[in-house]
Structure 1
Amino acid sequence: MTLDNENTGAPKDWLEAELEDTLDEDFEIEFSEPMLSMEVRKIYREQHPDMLDRKVYFRNLLRLQAELIKVQDWVQHTGAKVCILFEGRDSAGKGGVIKRITQRLNPRVARVVALPAPSRREQSQWYFQRYVPHLPAAGEIVLFDRSWYNRAGVERVMGFASEDQVEQFFQDVPEFERMLVRSGIILLKYWFSITDEEQQLRFLMRIHDPMKQWKLSPMDLESRIRWESYTKAKEDMLFRTNIPEAPWYIVEGNDKKRERLNCIEHLLTKIPYEDVPQEKVNLPDRKYNPEYERRVLPDELYVPKIY
């Protein structure tokens, strides 16, 4: 949709206006260490001397989010189906990327799927069955925060799946994904890669940050112990499931800001979106009824004005 600006005066450059309007909100989102001690904060900055400049990051993020809105409009207009898988080690930044992708999109079009551990009933089903209902219909974008690749990763490493089940998964998943692509789904698979040292640092930050301690589960702590096992499982997974119809794309994630921008830039090149025609929107005049009198509501209905 386009907005009629005939009576609003000369509008500012949209990017500058958006920066001014959302700077506080974006700083709040980005301010990821509000409760950290100065010692931990200092260590983190020493380990990341070449972090991307904040202004450069925000300008590019807003530009990319504007393009994502075009993708959303194209998906709705054409009835396209987009499915994006986000995989990686704990604390690799998957959630941060997903948040920036969906931040300005319509949640009725773009939705996130983050399934809990399977129930006993689901454990008895065909493995892919619990994921199928969440696949996109026409005009939808679905982002899986972890996906059916749990079987090749955490389930395999932690012993939740037998070697026979893992082998069956490796045999089935290529054909399953080919079926999805043949059905018209645009399927993208991202693996977020961080170093051993970076994960250790992020885990320590979570331990010392009350705002983030909820992110650190016993399973996450166990994953630190089994770093090498996860590495071997990841290498096997990428080797056996990297098919031409649905290849893997690895995103380097030690710098969170670069990780987010690089991932979004890449996925935009993998979706054949185009500008779609937009109807011009004119704000209608309000109708007034001279006989209407607004009722006075009791004070107890109002939220107290503490601020």
Structure 2
Amino acid sequence: MNERQVVEDLQMVEDLQDAENRRNAEDWLAAELADTLDEDYELEISEPAISNEIRRIYRRHHPAAIDRVTYFRTLLHLQSELIKLQDWVQHSKEKIVVIFEGRDSAGKGGVIKRITQRLNPRVVRVVALPAPSDREKTQWYFQRYVPHLPAGGEIVLFDRSWYNRSGVERVMGFADEDEVEQFFNDVPEFERMLVRSGIRLVKYWFSITDEEQQLRFLMRIHDPLKQWKLSPMDLKSRVRWEDYTKAKEEMFDRTNIPEAPWYIVEGNDKKRARLNCIDHLLGLIPYQPVEHEEIHLPERIFNPNYEREVLPKELYVPEKY
């Protein structure tokens, strides 16, 4: 290919890019929507092991589900606002912590996935800590959470948090009543310290009914692609539904402080729960649009004497599809 042909091809690419840039927002939304719908269909057909009977029962309990197109249009709009929030956080060096708590299978992971889906992982981090090690068990209870708190310009999403002590640790007997009482005495002041340090602290509890959790557990049991989500601890927690309810009620009573109140997300309808939570989160934070310099693609430097080396075939991934 001669240099003139390269220049003509480049001009054609630039013309195509200009045409692409001139597409209006509705065209972009339609393309993005189609791509997202494809992902959703892919997830649906990847669950062949779920029996038709369980599907029928589940759908009977969700007769007024939001239609797919409306859901994705709304989700894409909210995700575009999340990008603006991200830009504002970076620009203003804000520090945001969002805690996601709730019963097993309540939908915490689903909303976290939709929040982070289009954001920069260097700005927005998810923290999901495993059970504490023997060493961590001897530390100040909040110590293992502190290193994960945000610096300026960062958002941290806790998929479960220090509230493990008032929930699973208490109900399953991993913490005694003295430790739980110490937690309840300490956590309000700990969170006030975070807020005084400049952290915006938001706490969400995802609420589902007894029947809904049972259905979701059954769907996970019968789906080999989701069985990993069910730990032995999850199954034990199912038996102790009422104990968790009592623990949750005391947690709200003793940790719902003005500086960091709890917000309950009704989670029986997964899609509505995601939209409601993201919309609420955006409404809590006074983010503003951030001006950016216009981006221009720099000129490509061409060396007429350069020839691309032919690499060995074995370096390439086989094109099976």
TM-score per shorter chain, which class?
A: over 0.9
Cα separation, 2, equivalents of 1:102 and 1:210: 25
Q: CA RMSD in A?
A: 1.5
Q: CA deviation at 1:7?
A: 5.0
Q: CA deviation at 1:131?
A: 0.2
CA contact (8 A) 2:36 2:72 kept: no
Cα gap change, 1:223 to 1:277, in 2 (>3 Å): same
Structure with the larger RCO, 1 or 2 (CA within 8 Å, 6+ apart) = 1
Cα separation, 2, equivalents of 1:304 and 1:60: 39
Query: What residue ranges of structure 1 are gaps of 5+ in the alignment?
Result: none
More helix by share: 2
Query: Does structure 1 residue 188 correspond to structure 2 residue 202?
Result: yes
Q: Which residue of 1 aligns with 2:140?
A: 126
Q: One-letter code of the match for 2:195?
A: V
1:98 to 109, 112, 120: 112
2:125 to 108, 111, 120: 111
SS for the counterpart of 2:245 is helix
Q: CA deviation at 1:291?
A: 0.5
Q: Which residue of 1 aligns with 2:78?
A: 64
TM-score (norm 2): 0.92
Q: One-letter code of the match for 2:314?
A: E
Q: CA deviation at 1:20?
A: 3.1
Q: Which residue of 1 aligns with 2:250?
A: 236
- Cα deviation digits, residues 188-227 of structure 1 (max 9, x gap): 0000000000000000001100010111111011011100
Q: Percent identity?
A: 75
Query: Does structure 1 residue 11 correspond to structure 2 residue 44?
Result: no
Q: Which residue of 1 aligns with 2:299?
A: 285
Q: One-letter code of the match for 1:135?
A: L
Q: One-letter code of the match for 2:309?
A: R
Cα gap change, 1:141 to 1:29, in 2 (>3 Å): farther
2:185 to 168, 171, 176: 171
SS for the counterpart of 2:22 is coil
- Cα deviation digits, residues 140-190 of structure 1 (max 9, x gap): 000000000000000000010010000000000000000000000010000
Q: Which residue of 1 aligns with 2:149?
A: 135
Cα gap change, 1:133 to 1:230, in 2 (>3 Å): same
Cα separation, 2, equivalents of 1:243 and 1:5: 52
Query: What residue ranges of structure 2 are gaps of 5+ in the alignment?
Result: 1-15
Cα separation, 1, equivalents of 2:21 and 2:95: 39
Alignment length (residue pairs) = 304
TM-score (norm 1): 0.96
Q: One-letter code of the match for 2:117?
A: Q
SS for the counterpart of 2:304 is coil
Q: One-letter code of the match for 2:212?
A: E
Query: Does structure 1 residue 84 correspond to structure 2 residue 98?
Result: yes
1:224 to 229, 232, 238: 238
Q: CA deviation at 1:127?
A: 0.3
